[in-house]
Each structure stands twice: as structure tokens, then as C-alpha cells.
Structure 1
Amino acid sequence: MSLDRTPQIALVGNPNTGKTTLFNALTGLRHKVGNYAGVTVDRKVGTVALGEQKADLIDLPGIYSLAAHSPDEMVAVDMIAWAHEFADHPADLLLVILDASNLRRNLYLYSQILESKRPVVVALTMVDVARKNNITIDIDLLTERLGVPVVPVHAQKSEGIEELKAAVSAQIARIDQEGHEAVLPPEHQVHAQPVLDGLAELGAAFEAAGAPVPPDFVRLRMIFDVDGYLLQLLDDKTAKALRPTLEKIRKDITTQRVLPALEAHARYSWVAELLDGVVTKPDVRVATSSDKIDAIITHKVWGTALFVVIMVTIFQAIFAWAAPAMDLIEGVFGSLGDVVREMMPPGALQSLVADGIIGGVGGVIVFVPQIFILFLFIAILEDCGYLARAAVLMDKVMSKVGLSGTSFIPMLSGFACAIPSIMSARTIADHKDRMATILVIPLMSCSARLPVYILIIAAFVPAVYVAGFINLQSLVLMAMYSLGIIVAVPVAFILKRTVLKGPSPSFVMELPSYKWPAWKTVLATAGGQAKAFLVDAGTVILAVSIVVWALTYFPRSEVRNLEFEEARQEVMVQGFDEEKQAAALVEIDHQEESANINHSYLASMGKTIEPVFAPLGWDWKLSMSVLASFPAREIIVATLGTIYSVGSDADEESQGLRSALQDSRHPDGSKVFTIPVAMSIMVFFALCMQCFATLAIMRRVTGSWKWPAIAFSYMTLLAYIGAFLTTKIGNLLL
């Protein structure tokens, strides 16, 4: 072939067809994730080896059709045919996934792809599921009728992968020799002649407007996708000039059916003819094992009980499984800090490295094992098909507050990060439901909040067991995650009956087939989240840790240093025995540390704002740590680690930051971190806005700063009130 660049292959298919598993099998997990220019849509690209040649494999967003109504769908259209906005050129080949257990639905998308006239190879997935459902497929006949290579694959077992690569390589080699001209037969081209006339008329309208004429396929989508996304990509002048022509064309084509129904009828008629003799299935559908499992999992009582058991198990594992790894990491960073203190002379540089960098960043990295475990469970539940069932179960609850199960999936993914969750909420059709969902997503406890919960729970909640087998710490952690959901319910209820008033939406969701998790995919997902957490620790958290250290370390007073040095000299000449002298010197060191911190820039700032948080029982150190965490909530751990480790004399027996928090005292000698105060910190973090990046993405998705301002205001108020009530009620009870 004569392509002067690396071939690009686009992976196209419906959601829940095994697309991600196939992508990982073809690329060997060698991929990178970025964004398409101008939109917050993930762009996942991997390298696939085709013999001696390599090609870029692009995993497009899962879609049901090419009727683009969102940036995700528009990215797919652009990569398939247009290359107008998000791609330099269309994909050289389309690798289309068809689910063998549901060919009729999948072929609707395929019929649209045919009209792009791009080279195609079909990967037939879910063959094992079809076989279990007594569905047989004549693959040779299907290949003949589609006119393109059809390769059955089982990506989890790596079956058919080499055959698929060979078919792709052969198609790429023929790109310059022959085009892909397979299109729908004329009788299924949606009243072919009026459509052809409309395409020509729309092309002339583009020319009259002085704009480049897009391909036939794109103009066809502009005609049929009323209020679609394609027109939004045109400049206002061109779009305005085209609208009268589009309305006329649509009127000429339409007879007794609206356009979407007209297109669906034509395409499904073609699908029915194509599958005649290709697919054989039982005349009478019998209940499958999947149906029987669904009856339990989506049951109002048993399904809810199972959901609770799964959640308790996850939070129990977060503590039990992660403890050894956390202790190891904590010990490594503690020893590393000791080594630095021994190797470097006392002073600002030693404190910066040992306390600012190692103490701050190390205090966050210690939570990576728990982040990994949380996302490992989420990835397993998603890959096996359970999360979709959980959405159906939750629809019964969410419909009572004006939302639907459609909102549950973005909200559930908010436990990972609010940013992709808010992006995924764009697929909710109704504007008011979409806005209400976006406004409550930040109430879900993201991974950045987990280190805060773990730190406080490990320090102040005893590791005892309830009923002999349930860890109390895991129950408190589950309560913190549940709090966001519990508060989101009345918030959504109020929003849907005030500023976003509207009817409760209907809920239709496809349930994917049950399958064993693809462990490579699951581990890659959990590892990717842990890596993202580490990247944050190495960037924004490192930067904030250094800033906080500087504010804590400076200014240094020579007069104050001299006073403490004189006190040490006085102890040395008192004639104390060795043990008593060492204890006296340690006490002077602690007094010096306290004096330096209390006269630092951070203390001056903290004492200024301390009255605002005093009703919560917080001192200036805690108040400043909370404010410093706004760029990223996990920063509070690094900030506390920096504040409480400045000049510290930790050793391998020290419990690190947890011990420092437990020993923290007010000037009057009372404990800073009482149980009510500790609980109030977690409540505050459970209800406050997650980070500035969340506000930025809300602004980008909603197109206005109005909604981010509303979200920040109501969440800050909720967080303060919640923390205040927690402290006051806790003090009354304890």
C-alpha cells in the first residue's frame, strides 16, 4: 500500500458488545488516553501489530447509531467519514463490532456505516452468548451478504485475534486498489430518489453559502437527524443559510412518517432480509439463566439486600486488604525521611525535602492500595454486567425524586471522579434531568475524598467488629459514601420541583449479557486509576505541599532560635542523668517546633480565618488545610502531613500523621481532634464541592458559570451546616 503515514483503524460498535476487551486484546494494553480537540471526549489510541506493519487503533465511543446528538457521537461520525472537526482525516479502515446475540440491533448501525463507503472488517463477538441462547449463525452466508470479512472472536480467550489481524491487514493492503462501495440496495435507501435529489440540493446550498461541501454521507445525516449535532459544527452564517433548504428537503422526503421512523423502517427492512437464513433461533423464547438471575438482582427486596451486601464487602476489603501495603509504604517514606535528615545538615533545604516533599507527597501515596482496591471492585462489577442491573434497581428510587436510572450510571461513576461523570451525563436526553444530575454528581464521594476518610477513620474509629465479622471502620466508611447519596435525593427532589421543574423521565436501558470479567481489562482499569492518582501526587499535590511547607517554615526568627539554643545549653549543664537530659531536650525541640509554626505565615493566615470555622471546633491548622485542598481534595492529607511533620523526630515506631493528629492540642491543652470534630471533617468533605476542575468541567458542559456557582454555593452551605450539626450533636452525646 502507498499510505505515507501509519494507517488508522477506528473501532466502532454498540455499547456492551465487548469493544474495550477487543481493543485491549489487539493492542496488548499498549495505549494512551487523551482528549479530542475542543471537546471533553476521551481519545483512546493503541498500537496493533499487523505482521511487519503497525497501525493505530482508535477506540471510538460506543454508539447505537450515527445520528449525532452529542460530542461523543460526533467524534464517531467525524472519524468515520468527515474529518471536519476532530480528525485530520477519516479512518483508513473501520473495524465494526457486531454482537452475535443481537445482530438485528447491531446491523442498524452497520447499515449507516455502509453509506460512509469506508473499508470495513467485521468482528463478531458474543458468539458464546449466542450459542448459550440457542442462536446459530451461518458466518459464511453472513460474510457473503455483507460483502466484507467477518471474523468471530472471543477476546477474553484471545480466540480469533490473529485471524482478525490478518483480515484487517488484507483490507488495508487493498485500500489503494479498490474502494468500499457496498451500500444499501435502492429499495432500502429511504425513498432513494427524493433522498438523492435532496443530497444534490443541499450540496448546492453549501456552495451558495460559500462553504465546503461535505460528503454525501454527512449531508444524509444532516437531512435525517433533525436537531442533530452536525449543524452545530457549522458557523452561524452557514447554518442559518442551510436551514430553509433542509426544511424543504425534509418536507419533500416525508410522506406519512416522520423522518426517524422513515429511516428506521427502511434500515430494519434491509436487516430482516439480510438475516433471513443467516440466523436461526428458537421459535418460542424460553427463560434463560440470565433472566432468572435478573429476577433476583433487580428485585425490590432481594436486589436491594444484595446491593448492600456488595457495598459492605467492598468497604470491608478496602481496609482489610490494603492494610499491609499501606503499612509498608508508610514505613518506606518514614525511613526515607529519616535518611534525608541524617544525610543533610539541618536547615531549610533539609526541611523542604524531608517534610515538604517526602512528608507531604508520601502522606498521599500511602492511600494508593485502597484506591486500587476500590476501582478493582468497580471494574469487576461493570465488566460482569452488574452495574447496569443496579441502575435498573435504583430507577425505582430515583423516579420518586424526578430522576431516572439513566442518572444513576453517571452518579455511580462519580465515586471515581466527578469530571468524567459530568461528561457522561450529557447523554441524558432531557435538559432539566441532565442539569439536575450534573448538580448532584459532586455529592458522590470521589477517589480524592477516600484518603481523607481513611486517615480520619484509621486514627479515631476503633478497629472493632460489629456482630463479630463486620469491621466498624468499614461501616463508617460506607456511611460516608452513603451520605452523599442520601443528601443527593432531597437535593434532586428540590431541584426538579423548583428551578428545574419537569416531569419524571422514562427509563429504558439495555442490560448487557453476564460474563466473567476480563481480568486484563479489569486490572488495567484499576491500575489506570491508581496511576492517575499518582500523577496527581507528583504534580499538583507536590506543588501545594511545597507551598504549604514554605508558609509553615518561614519566617524564621534568629532571636527565637537563640532562646531555644540557650535553653538547650542550660539543660546540658544541669547535670541530669542521660535519660532525663534526653527527655528535656526532646521537650525543648517540641516547644521550638510549636513556636516556629505558630509564628509562621501559614499561622497568620490561619488565625485570620479561624473564627469562621471555630463553631465547627476546628483550629487554624485544620481550617487552613481544608482551604488549601480546594485544587484537589486529597491535598488536605499532604497539607496536614507537612504541618505536623515540620521538624518532627519520627522514627520507625511512629504512626506518622495519624499519631500526630491524635496528639494535637489546643493552647489550653484540650484535644483538637475529638471524635465529633473528626466526624465533622468527614461530613464536610462528603458534602463540599470536590475541586476547581469539577467547577470548570461543569461550566464547559453547561455553557455558563451560573450552574457551577449554584453548585458551589449550595454544597458549601450544606457542608458547613452538616459539619456544624455533627460537632454539636456529637458533643451532646459524648
Structure 2
Amino acid sequence: MANPVKAAPGCTVVVLGNPNAGKSTLFNGLTGVRQHVGNYPGVTVEKRSGLISIDDEDFELVDLPGTYSLAPTSPEEMLAVKILLGKPPAAGKPDVILCVIDASNMQRNLFLVSQVLELNQPTVVAVNMVDVAKRNGVEIDCEKLQQLLGVPVVPVQAKRREGFDALKRAIADSRNKNPDFPHDPFEASLKDRIEQLESTCPDDCALKRFAVTRMLFDTDGFMADQLKSEVGPTTLESVESEKQKMESGKEPVFESESSARYSWITRHSDEFIKQTGPVRASSITDRLDAWLTHPIWGLGVALLVSVMLFQLVFWIADPASDMIDWFNGTLASIVNGVVPAGTLNSLLVDGLINGVGSVLIFLPQILLLFLILALLEDSGYLARAAFLMDRYLSKIGLSGVTLFPLLSSFACAIPGIMATRVIKNDRERLVTILIAPLMSCSARLPVYVLLIATFVPAQSYLGGLLGLRGLTMFAMYMVGIVVAVIVAWILRRTFVKSPPTSFVLEMPSYKVPSLRNVGQRMFDGGWSFIRDAGTIIVAVTILVWAAAYFPRLNESNPPAELTNDFAVVQRLEPQLETLADDAAERPSIESELAVAQNNISAFHLRQSYLGRSGKLIEPVVKPLGWDWRIGSAAIASFPAREVVVSTMGVIFGLGSEVDEESDSLREQLAAAKWEGSDRPLFTLPVALSLMVFFALCAQCVSTLAVIKRETNSWFWPTFSFVYMTVLAYIGAFAVYQIFSRMIS
């Protein structure tokens, strides 16, 4: 477990860099286990901070979101700029800025560095992946680059932790030393305009150059809003006037900055970049991309990788989840042997142990999914798959990078929602979070299997190639997919509306993933789920247990309909304790005792607050073809959808040990009648209605807890629960009414 960061150290260092420059690998290598992961106050962006020691003094490192420039276009980039400026949620300006750049892609990375130097704050440049550049036949002269930039430049290999000592020394020595940037990237005419605008700034403004430059090239007003208190109204008016003059020219304002900075980098690149040999890695990358980004073969590979990801979550995570389930069962048996039957026993076993188990049961899936996504992203393949899928997902307002989170949600929405962290656009990520629960997860499968096997006829078509039961199962999965597409399309045009943006994604070089970085991301994902979502899940599970347990019967004076069952229990329980395990009469006694105990449990549930709630909502669910018993099962399934099967077992007097394969449960459901009549309770329309409801509803507190964790707000899980419940009700109502009329 990562150790929490201690009291505020004497120096704060922010780590900044382009995506795929190895920034997180460097951060993990420097901080090791002395790091802390949380959220910035009031926002959903993750904050990673850690400690490093230099000369027995602690320095705090803060890993900022990856950004290509200080002209922010996403909430993550905006947050990075705010922290650089010392704006909330930052407590103040950083003492040192550590810029991490990719040695194999210097020109693009130096664009960001040239902007950072205009902040006139202590800065260190770490040139990472010098080994990759060398394999490309490129050598970086860091001394010449240091002379050009006027700040310390240190070569490092973050994966191997090489150059860290020199980097730490440069950080310590850079405190209170502002850059000595000897060059101006802008040509004379643009430079004169900037200097004229600087002259309008107040004398006490410490960010004159940075402020007027950023506001001049700002396209959406964000930077002007952040810097208006530093420059004052006169400078704001002057900048706006100058911007209008520039916009009347041939070249757009934002292109003027790009052209000037890249031209400056190109002019000086020969001073520090030496081509020492043939380019190897890029040619390998090109040959791989010829296949992996091909519109046909590449798409096939992307779909194959997606299917393998989906299968791995089942093949590997399921056995691990079964082990956790076995451990919970063993622990419950121990508690049953120590704590006598009663309220405390039920609280510990049915409330606390089941609650903690319902959290831990998801952990293998979450860890495995973060492992796979980290490997795909660090290797460079995730960007290729996103590029290929973008043409399809863009039609509903999403980008290609949403593919893996949505696909993962078919196994479980919880890791799927957490996997949306790979989506950089905040609004796309929110839409993906809101539609991920509509993918039919594995928890819905027991409901489908039980109802399809019991009520859907075993008819076949096309010579046995297609079966009605298989088609029904396929239809349940398609319901979620089709509705998710419609919901995403609507959300992108209403609640989560934003101007259309082009999908810009860097194609990084292929490389071997850092196992340390991958392991850290696995740990961060698993721990954040347990810490933040797990507490909510356990709390709600205990509340639902209490609703199903209370009020209790007075066993000394049971109701008339249970008199015989209580008598059987009182007579047979002592008798069973004295019998040997291999006694011939033991099976018959156990069977008779189980029937009596199940009858008592069913009565308890009917009289509980949960059962009363089911009766209360019966008028609401009756148009769906349900009675209070089905309604109670739906309410009880709020902690987890699959609980509906065991709850039905209790309600119909078979106990909670039944599952979707139990013949006794299928027979009991098929024989169930509406109370007070001979009309069958379950029919094919009712079964279809119930399946459609569970295909669309938000009956999973774990999913809602994770939505709260990932959005840092109770609004969006509430919104998800409401809109999905309404959709589920409308869908179930339509299916029941239509099929009832078709079959009658």
C-alpha cells in the first residue's frame, strides 16, 4: 500500500510533460512507495504526489496531467495550467518545474518547454528515453541544449532509473534560480507586438511575458480568465484589440504561435540533435503500422484484441473471484460456528461479510483490466486501436478510445467505468461512464439463464442452427447496446453537450511496457476502488440486509401458519445434532428441516420492511406483469443484480442456496400463482418483461458507487439511477403489454 504523504515538505516540484514522454514512469521511479493518490478538491482529475529525499530534505513531487502545450483544450490540461500558475486547487506556485521530454521526439516536446520557460520559474528539463533515441540513430547533446534553453538539462532512462542522482541534484540546485532563456522564438514583428503588450502590464506583474503571450494566442478565453487579476483591464483590452488585428490577417492567431515556435526549434535542432546512424525503430514502427492501422487487417486485430481482453477477464478473474467467494463462505462458516443464530450472526454473515465480499469480488477484474490497459497503452497499441475505432464511435459523439471501457463493461461495469480514465476528453468520459452500465454484464446472466430456460420454448430454426433460447439471450445483449447508442447520441446533444472536436491522438513508438509503471497503475486502480467505492457498497449492503431482516417475529408466539414449521425445527434440530454424519436417517431429517426453515425464512422476508416495500410498489409494477414478490426481489437486488435469483428462492420457500440451474426453483416459478387466484404468476411475457428490466436498470449499488467515485459527485450516480430505472420501466412495460396481446 502506498504510504500517505507526510507533512508539507520544504519544496514542491511539479512534473510536466507530453503524454507518452515517460512522465509517470519517471515519477514512479523517483517516489517509489512514498506516494499518495487521490482527487483534487472539487474535480474528478486524479492527483498523484510523492516524496523524494535530497540531502536529507524532503521534496514533494506532483505529477500533473499530460499536456502537449499550455494552450489547454481539456479539463486535465486546464488543471495543469492552474497549478503552474498557483491557482486553486493548488496552494501556491510550485518551487520547481520538472519538464520531462522524449528524446526520440524532441521537436514536438520542446514546443511545451518553450512555453514553460516564459513562466520565468525555476525549471529543470529531463530528457527521457535517450536509449530509444540512440536506437533510432539519434544522439542528444544535452550540454548544447542546456545552453540553448538556459536551464539544467539532464539525460535519464526512467525505466532503468538511470540519471536519477543527477536529476535530483539539478532539482535541488534550481530552487530560486529563474531561467536564463537567451532566445526568443518569435520573429521580429510578432516579438514587437508582444513587447508592446508587456508594457501595458502593471509593474508588479511577475508574469508579463507569459500572460500577454498566452492571452494573445488563447482561443476560448480560459487564459484571460485565469490571468486577468495579474494584468488588469488595460492589458486585457490591449490584448483583445491586438488579437482582432491579427485575426484580420491571413494566418489564424493560434497558427501564428505554432509556426513561430516550431520554426525556432527547427532552426536550432542541428545544434543538439546528431544523427549518428540509420533509423531503425521508426522503420519497424512503420512496418507494424502498415498492418495494425490498416482499415481492414488493423480492424480485425483490434477486434481480436478486444475479444481476448473480454475473455481474459472471465478466464483469469473469475477463478480468482471464486476463491474470494470461497474464502467468504469459509469465514461465514467460522462465524456460524462461534456466534449463535440470531441478529448478531445475521449481521456479521449476511451484512458485513457479504458486504465486504461484494467489494472484494470485483477486485480481480479491476486489477486485471488495469493490467491489460496499462500494457496496451504503454506498448503504444491502445492509440492505434482508438484510431481505428474512431470512425465508428464518432457517429454517436464518442471517440475510438472509448472502445475498451465499453467492451470491458460486458464483463462488469465497475472495471469498465474505472477504465474510462484512459479517455482524456472529460465530456466523452462522462458519457462513456453513463452508458457503460447498459452493457449486459455477467451479473445479469443468472437472471437471463433462469428465466429463458424456464419460460422460453426450446424451439429451433434453420435445421437446428438457431434456437429461440439463444436468440432471446442475444436479444437481451442487443437491447443494452442499442439503447446505449441512443442514449449516448442524446446525451452528447443535451446534458453533456459540447462543440464538436477533432480527434487528435499521438501515435507513440512501440516499446516494451514498464512493469513498475504497470504495477503501480494496477495498485492505484484497485486501492481507489476499495477505499472510495468499497465503503459505500458495504454500507448499502448492510442497509439492505437490515431491511430484509427486520422486524423479526416473536418466535415464542409464532403466527398460526408457521406453528407446525416452528415445531418441526424445535424437534429436529436437537435430533440432527446427535446423529452421526453417515446416519441413514440423516438425509430425510435434513430435508424436512430445510423445508420448515425455508418456510420460516420466506415468511420473515414477506413481513420484513423489504417485503412490505414490495407490497407497497405492487400497484406500480403490476402493469409490468409483476406482483409484490417479483417487486421485492427487484428491490433486494440493489446491492447486486444476481441476488434476485437467491431472493426468489427465499420468497418461494426454497432457501437462498438455489441458483439459476436449480430445477426446484424453475419448477416453483413455473407453478407460482397470483395470490388469491389460479392465474399463473410467471408467463413468457412476464419473463421477457423482467429480463428487459434487468437489462436496462441500474440495480447495482457497486456501479453507482464507482460512478460517484469517478465523477466526484452524487449528481451523476443519481442521474444514472433515475434515467436507467425510467428506461427499464418503459421497456419492461412495452414488452409485457405487446407480448401479452400477441400471445393471448
User: In which range does the TM-score fall when normalised by the shorter chain?
Assistant: 0.7 to 0.9
- Paired residue secondary structure (1:46): strand
Query: Which amino acid in 2 is paired with 1:322?
Result: A
Asked if the contact 2:96/2:174 (under 8 Å) is kept, the reply is no
Q: What does residue 509 of structure 1 align with? A: 505
- Paired residue secondary structure (1:511): coil
Distance of aligned partners of 1:225 and 1:476 in 2 relative to their CA distance in 1, 3 Å threshold: farther
Q: What does residue 542 of structure 1 align with? A: 538
1:599 aligns with 2:596: no
Query: Which amino acid in 1 is paired with 2:237?
Result: P
- Paired residue secondary structure (2:558): helix
Q: What does residue 461 of structure 2 align with? A: none
1:444 shift after superposition = 2.2
Q: What does residue 121 of structure 1 align with? A: 124
Q: What does residue 103 of structure 2 align with? A: 100
Q: 2:29 aligns with which of 21, 25, 43?
A: 25
Distance of aligned partners of 1:396 and 1:191 in 2 relative to their CA distance in 1, 3 Å threshold: closer
1:608 aligns with 2:611: no
Query: Which amino acid in 2 is paired with 1:600?
Result: S
1:616 shift after superposition = 5.6
Asked if the contact 2:637/2:700 (under 8 Å) is kept, the reply is no
1:603 shift after superposition = 0.6
Q: 1:524 aligns with which of 515, 520, 525?
A: 520
Asked if the contact 2:202/2:231 (under 8 Å) is kept, the reply is no
Question: Distance between the aligned counterparts of 1:641 and 1:237, measured in 2?
Answer: 64
Q: What does residue 241 of structure 2 align with? A: 248
Moved more, 524-533 or 539-548: 524-533
1:373 shift after superposition = 2.2
- Paired residue secondary structure (2:310): helix
Distance of aligned partners of 1:725 and 1:510 in 2 relative to their CA distance in 1, 3 Å threshold: farther
1:683 aligns with 2:695: yes
Distance of aligned partners of 1:337 and 1:310 in 2 relative to their CA distance in 1, 3 Å threshold: same
- Paired residue secondary structure (1:56): strand
1:374 aligns with 2:386: no
- Paired residue secondary structure (1:276): helix
Query: Which amino acid in 2 is paired with 1:359?
Result: N
Asked if the contact 1:312/1:478 (under 8 Å) is kept, the reply is no
1:192 aligns with 2:176: no
Moved more, 45-54 or 283-292: 283-292
Q: 1:297 aligns with which of 277, 292, 299?
A: 292
1:350 aligns with 2:345: yes
Asked if the contact 1:124/1:151 (under 8 Å) is kept, the reply is yes
Distance of aligned partners of 1:132 and 1:715 in 2 relative to their CA distance in 1, 3 Å threshold: farther
The TM-score normalised by the length of structure 1 is 0.78
1:393 shift after superposition = 0.8
Post-superposition Cα deviations, 1:525-582, rounded to whole Å, max 9, x if no partner, equal 2333333333356411121112111111112232663754664446877999655444
Query: Which amino acid in 1 is paired with 2:531?
Result: V
Map 1:30-429; keep pairs closer than 5 Å: 30-80=34-84, 82-156=85-159, 158-160=160-162, 163-176=163-176, 178-182=177-181, 184-185=183-184, 188=187, 191-203=190-202, 216-233=209-226, 243-250=236-243, 256=249, 257-281=251-275, 288-401=283-396, 404-405=399-400, 427=425
Asked if the contact 2:696/2:724 (under 8 Å) is kept, the reply is no
Question: Distance between the aligned counterparts of 1:586 and 1:499, measured in 2?
Answer: 52
Distance of aligned partners of 1:341 and 1:503 in 2 relative to their CA distance in 1, 3 Å threshold: closer
What is the identity percentage for the equivalent residue pairs of Structure 1 and Structure 2? 35
Question: Distance between the aligned counterparts of 1:113 and 1:149, measured in 2?
Answer: 14
Map 1:441-456; keep pairs closer than 5 Å: 441-445=433-437, 450=441, 452-453=443-444
Question: Distance between the aligned counterparts of 2:471 and 2:303, measured in 1?
Answer: 11
Map 1:442-481; keep pairs closer than 5 Å: 442-445=434-437, 450=441, 452-453=443-444
1:300 shift after superposition = 2.5
1:587 shift after superposition = 1.5
Query: Which amino acid in 1 is paired with 2:519?
Result: L
Q: How many residues align?
A: 693
- Paired residue secondary structure (1:64): coil
Asked if the contact 1:439/1:711 (under 8 Å) is kept, the reply is no
Post-superposition Cα deviations, 1:14-38, rounded to whole Å, max 9, x if no partner, equal 1121111221111215422223334
1:175 shift after superposition = 2.1
Question: Distance between the aligned counterparts of 1:312 and 1:5, measured in 2?
Answer: 47
Moved more, 109-118 or 530-539: 530-539
1:67 shift after superposition = 1.7
Q: Which has the higher contact order (CA 8 A, sep 6+)?
A: 1
Question: Distance between the aligned counterparts of 1:557 and 1:5, measured in 2?
Answer: 60
Question: Distance between the aligned counterparts of 2:718 and 2:303, measured in 1?
Answer: 34
Asked if the contact 1:444/1:686 (under 8 Å) is kept, the reply is no
Map 1:620-635; keep pairs closer than 5 Å: 620=628, 623-624=631-632, 626=634, 635=640
The TM-score normalised by the length of structure 2 is 0.77
Distance of aligned partners of 1:255 and 1:547 in 2 relative to their CA distance in 1, 3 Å threshold: closer
Query: Which amino acid in 2 is paired with 1:508?
Result: V
- Paired residue secondary structure (1:539): helix
Post-superposition Cα deviations, 1:159-212, rounded to whole Å, max 9, x if no partner, equal 41xx23433334423524x433325338658733432331231437xx9xxxx8
Asked if the contact 1:411/1:444 (under 8 Å) is kept, the reply is yes
Asked if the contact 1:188/1:269 (under 8 Å) is kept, the reply is no
Distance of aligned partners of 1:410 and 1:241 in 2 relative to their CA distance in 1, 3 Å threshold: farther
Moved more, 355-364 or 180-189: 180-189
- Paired residue secondary structure (2:199): helix
Question: Distance between the aligned counterparts of 2:417 and 2:389, measured in 1?
Answer: 22
Moved more, 537-546 or 586-595: 537-546
Map 1:431-450; keep pairs closer than 5 Å: 438-439=430-431, 441-445=433-437, 450=441
Moved more, 336-345 or 616-625: 616-625
Asked if the contact 2:548/2:610 (under 8 Å) is kept, the reply is yes
Asked if the contact 2:185/2:264 (under 8 Å) is kept, the reply is no
Asked if the contact 2:211/2:227 (under 8 Å) is kept, the reply is no
Map 1:538-687; keep pairs closer than 5 Å: 538-558=534-554, 561=558, 564=562, 567-569=565-567, 579-613=587-621, 620=628, 623-624=631-632, 626=634, 635-636=640-641, 663=665, 665-666=668-669, 668-669=671-672, 679-680=691-692, 683-685=695-697
Question: Distance between the aligned counterparts of 1:708 and 1:350, measured in 2?
Answer: 32
Asked if the contact 2:224/2:236 (under 8 Å) is kept, the reply is no
Q: What does residue 468 of structure 1 align with? A: none
Query: Which amino acid in 1 is paired with 2:64?
Result: L
Distance of aligned partners of 1:175 and 1:582 in 2 relative to their CA distance in 1, 3 Å threshold: closer
Distance of aligned partners of 1:173 and 1:459 in 2 relative to their CA distance in 1, 3 Å threshold: farther
Q: What does residue 15 of structure 2 align with? A: 11
Question: Distance between the aligned counterparts of 1:320 and 1:284, measured in 2?
Answer: 41
Asked if the contact 1:361/1:638 (under 8 Å) is kept, the reply is no
Q: What does residue 466 of structure 1 align with? A: none
Question: Distance between the aligned counterparts of 2:206 and 2:152, measured in 1?
Answer: 32
- Paired residue secondary structure (2:101): strand
Question: Distance between the aligned counterparts of 1:392 and 1:169, measured in 2?
Answer: 41
Q: What does residue 462 of structure 2 align with? A: none
1:598 shift after superposition = 0.8
- Paired residue secondary structure (2:507): coil
Query: Which amino acid in 2 is paired with 1:36?
Result: Y
Distance of aligned partners of 1:662 and 1:165 in 2 relative to their CA distance in 1, 3 Å threshold: farther
Post-superposition Cα deviations, 1:309-330, rounded to whole Å, max 9, x if no partner, equal 2222222222222343223222
